[in-house]
Amino acid sequence: DIQMTQSPSSLSASVGDGVSLTCRASQGIDNYLNWYQQKPGEAPKLLIYAASSLQSGVPSRFSGSGSGTDFTLTITSLQPEDFATYYCQQSFSTPLTFGGGTRVEIK
């Protein structure tokens, strides 16, 4: 199985800050990398697919980059609704696997 490792596991930031979350795959996955946002009691919501493509309806302050094994999710100018847990996930091969998540908290 491909292992997905996210860092940091949590971070504190203020409204208006920019943050970068990282994800590393245990082997190369080309650009088969998705980012999800999850809020308590809700299903994960797809933000970014194919490493850098913005899912329809997702604000442009979210962006993704990377290829191979190292990936980044960047949120510019955090909004109150952005405080949540973010997961990366590879769709390169089955079993599909998720990272452990990064929790973005309000400072």
49 near another protein (CB under 8 A): yes
| CB closer to another protein, 1 vs 105 | 1
Least distance to another protein, CB of residue 67, Å: 13
Question: What track of x and - describes contact with another protein for positions 9 through 38 (by CB under 8 A)?
Answer: -----------------------x-x----
Q: Is-contact 50 65, C-beta < 8 A?
A: no
Strand partners, 36: 46, 87
Residue from the set 46, 74, 76, 83 that interacts with another protein by CB under 8 A: 46
| CB closer to another protein, 53 vs 79 | 53
The answer to whether the bond into 44 is cis (omega within 30° of 0) is no
CA-based radius of gyration for the chain: 13
Least distance to another protein, CB of residue 107, Å: 25
Cα separations in angstroms, 107 against 15, 16, 57, 96: 8, 11, 27, 33
